[in-house]
Amino acid sequence: MTGSGLSTTRYAEGSVGAIRDCVVGIYIDTSLGNGSIKNARFSTAGVVGHRGATGARGPRGLQGQTGPQGAQGPQGLQGLQGIQGISGLQGVPGIPGVSGTNGTDGFMPTFGSFYDTTTQAIDSANTPKAMTFNQITPGVNGVVADGVSVSSLSHVTVATTGTYNIQFSAQLAKTDGGNDTMDIWLRVDNIDVPWSNTEVTISSTQRLVASWNFMIFLESGHYFELMYSSADINTRILAEPALTGPVHPGIPSVILTVQQVD
């Protein structure tokens, strides 16, 4: 089918499909140009021949030269530095511990223990007399002492200033009938201690043990004495030797213990 006119199509070829009311339907196999055909003229075309084999692939063209490397672009701007974080609050300092108190010097109390193995008699009625001690050497016959000593038989001296507990026991007796009294008190540095006297009654048929203690403050180097007196010269502080029938150790006339307590 060929034609001419205002369109650009000059040729179209195909099989007739249907003809109705002067309308011809054609299945187009090939054409030349684009658009509609006006003033068409139909003619019979030959049968389309078989498609020839595909020709061999031509040689590959030469690779084009690599273009020059482009200039390096400018370095990008450095990013802004981040804002530094806020520092944490400083912790509150701990409360200092309380200082310990200074230790006190160790207390090393002085002491002494003495006794007498002789009977001590009244020399003169109503005349004060000091009790004496003949066992006064530490480590001998059971005597113990440290910082307390005996001199002049009756002077008990302390080497350390402090408060002392003075304890004694004395076995009292008399050689005649009836009852008599004996006074016993404390004397310090040859001065009688006020309100330190005790009066005891001695029977002719029964012995009596006077035993009590004094608590007194003494300065270093001072001495005390145990004093006694009686209106009857037949009263005495009695000592007895050891016996075998019945068996018992000797009885001291006086036993004295001294202990520093402060």
pTM: 0.60
Rg (CA), the chain: 73
What is the separation of C-alpha 149 from the centre of its chain, rounded to a whole number of angstroms? 47
Whether pLDDT at 240 is above 60: yes
Tokens 């806020």 belong to 86
Name which of 123, 119, 120, 117 is nearest 136 in CA terms: 117
Query: Counting Cβ atoms within 10 Å, is residue 241 exposed (0-12), middle (13-18) or buried (19+)?
Result: exposed
Distance CA 22, CA 25 (A): 10
Task: Answer whether residue 7 shows pLDDT above 60.
Answer: no
Given this model, what pLDDT does residue 12 score?
73
Confidence (pLDDT) at 92 = 78
Phi-psi region of 10 (alpha: psi -120 to 50; beta: other; left: phi over 0): alpha
Select the more confidently predicted residue: 74 or 119.
119
Please state, in angstroms and rounded to a whole number, the distance separating the CA atoms of residues 187 and 196: 9
Write the pLDDT tens digit of every residue in 130-144.
Answer: 999 999 999 999 999
Dihedral, 138, 256, 254, 240 alpha carbons, nearest 10: -50
The gap between the terminal CA atoms of the chain, to the nearest Å, is 151
Average pLDDT over residues 184-195: 98
Are 95 and 241 in contact, with CB atoms under 8 Å apart? no
Q: How far is CA 38 from CA 19, 21, 26, 192, in A?
A: 18, 18, 15, 172
How does pLDDT run across 91-103, given as a tens digit for each residue?
677 687 677 566 5
| Amino acid identity at 223 | Y
Question: Percentage helix, strand, coil, to 5, in the chain?
Answer: 0, 40, 60
* pLDDT of residue 1 exceeding 70: no
Nearest to 127 by CA among 20, 48, 229: 229
Letter for the amino acid at 65? Q
Q: Give the number of C-alpha atoms closer than 13 A to the C-alpha of residue 215, restricted to the C-beta side.
A: 2
DSSP label of 72: P
Q: Confidence band (pLDDT; 50, 70, 90) for 59?
A: confident
Least trusted range by pLDDT, from 43-47, 53-57, 184-188: 43-47
- CB-based contacts of 142, cutoff 8 Å, min separation 6: 113, 135
Domains assigned to the chain: 1-45 (no CATH), 111-260 (2.60.120.40)
- Report pLDDT for 219: 98
DSSP element (H, E) containing 162: strand 162-174
